[in-house]
């Protein structure tokens, strides 16, 4: 690895404590032979139930807390894609209050407005905040199966059902793709891909490293691994992979999910 002596990485954490939230900046400087590059990745603790973490220049992960029936909490991921003061949201927090806080944060701190929300599947950790989105005039997209499944569970349903979609941010060529690879965690689960960022949001279809099976109440265990393989084949250039729960990573999350679910089938 001859490049190692040519590359030095320096990190500095700066924490600002403000009235309504805490802002943490991880400032990383890369000094390489022939030049240097700098990037600052920010993390906001919006409130006790919501944090926002910058992943790339234009993409942020929002993590909220879902309270389970046994009283425990689980962190739930979604994404915020920001370009030219416009936003496409990938999944909502699980309740209206936290979603309203996310909308306010995006407007106040990112100086942007949400135009669209894409929903990955019909469970509450993906669409529980749709009422707040609709109240703000935000259109919602999902797989064509999702509205019926959501209504059956008593949830607010997405407005615009599609088989697949490619949504642009304003008059730019930048877009986010809603893609259905087949049943897995649920029969309607989709992933979202941002070509310009090489970033895949897998929702609950994709597991973080070392995760267990999770909620299998609506899962198709026989077809899940094959559906992830289809996703992998369609987005081979993906470099960032965001799961529905837990830590982000790269394409190894797709391989881990395939291995995990394939192991279940062999039991």
pLDDT tens string, the chain, 267 residues long: the values are 333 333 333 344 444 444 454 554 444 333 333 333 445 689 999 999 999 999 999 999 999 999 887 878 899 999 999 999 999 999 999 999 999 999 999 999 999 999 999 999 999 999 999 999 999 999 999 999 999 999 999 999 999 999 888 988 766 678 999 999 999 999 999 999 999 999 999 999 999 999 999 999 999 999 999 999 999 999 999 999 999 999 999 999 999 999 999 998 665
pLDDT value of position 23: 54
pLDDT score of 35: 37
Chain centroid to Cα 246, Å, comes to 11
Q: Domain 48-265: give its CATH code.
A: 3.60.15.10
Distances (CA, A) of 89 to 30, 83, 100, 165, 247: 30, 12, 13, 14, 19
- pLDDT, position 265: 63
CA 86, 240, 157, 49 torsion: positive or negative? negative
Task: Give start and end residues of each alpha helix (H) in 12-145.
Answer: 96-109, 124-127, 130-135
Q: Which two tokens stand for residue 251?
A: 């394409």
pLDDT at 31 (0 to 100): 32
Strands 113-118 and 139-143: parallel
H/E segment holding residue 224? helix 224-234
* Per-residue CA distances from 144 to 149, 150, 160, 180 (Å): 10, 11, 8, 10
Q: Are 167 and 88 in contact (CB under 8 A)?
A: yes
Q: How many CA atoms lie within 13 A of 169 on its CB side?
A: 23
Distance CA 239, CA 234 (A): 13
Length of the chain (residues): 267
**Strand (E) or helix (H) holding 199:** strand 199-203
Task: Read off the pTM.
Answer: 0.84
Return all residues near 92 (Cβ < 8 A) that are at least 6 apart: 78, 99, 102, 117, 119, 126, 127, 128, 129, 130, 132, 133
CA-based nearest residue to 179, from 228, 124, 139: 228
d(C-alpha 137, C-alpha 135), whole Å: 6
What is the per-residue DSSP string for 136-176? TT-EEEEETTHHHHHHHTTPPPPSEEES-EEEESTTSS-EE
Q: Is 191 helix (H, G, I), strand (E, B) or coil?
A: strand
Predicted pLDDT of residue 170: 66
Q: Where are the alpha helices (DSSP H) in 49-114?
A: 96-109
Q: What is the pLDDT of residue 38?
A: 45
Q: In this predicted structure, what is the pLDDT of residue 230?
A: 98
Tell me, what's the pLDDT at 18? Answer: 46
How would you classify the pairing of strands 35-47 and 50-54? antiparallel
The predicted pLDDT at position 67 comes to 85
Q: Tokens 């490293």 belong to which residue?
A: 209
């Amino acid at each position: 690895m001859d490049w190692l002596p040519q590359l030095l990485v320096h990190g500095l954490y700066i924490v600002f404590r403000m009235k309504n939230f805490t802002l943490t900046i991880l400032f990383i400087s890369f000094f390489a032979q022939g030049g240097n590059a700098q990037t600052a990745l920010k993390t906001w603790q919006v409130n006790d139930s919501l944090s926002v973490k910058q992943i790339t220049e234009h993409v942020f992960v929002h993590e909220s807390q879902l309270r389970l029936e046994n009283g425990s909490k689980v962190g739930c991921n979604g994404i915020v894609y920001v370009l030219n003061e416009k936003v496409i949201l990938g999944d909502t927090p699980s309740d209206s209050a936290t979603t309203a806080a996310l909308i306010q944060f995006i407007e106040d701190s990112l100086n942007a407005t949400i135009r669209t929300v894409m929903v990955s599947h019909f469970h509450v950790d993906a669409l529980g905040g749709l009422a707040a989105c609709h109240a703000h005039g935000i259109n919602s997209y999902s797989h064509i199966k999702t509205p019926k499944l959501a209504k059956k569970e008593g949830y607010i349903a997405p407005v615009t059902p599609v088989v697949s979609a490619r949504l642009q941010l304003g008059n730019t060529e930048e877009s986010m793709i809603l893609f259905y690879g087949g049943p897995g965690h649920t029969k309607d689960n989709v992933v979202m891909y941002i070509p310009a960022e090489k970033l895949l949001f897998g929702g609950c279809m994709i597991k973080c490293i070392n995760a267990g099976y999770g909620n299998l109440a609506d899962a198709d265990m026989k077809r899940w691994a094959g559906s992830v393989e289809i996703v992998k084949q369609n987005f081979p250039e993906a470099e960032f992979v965001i799961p529905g729960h837990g830590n982000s990573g790269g394409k190894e999350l797709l391989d881990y999910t395939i291995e995990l679910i394939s192991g279940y089938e062999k039991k």
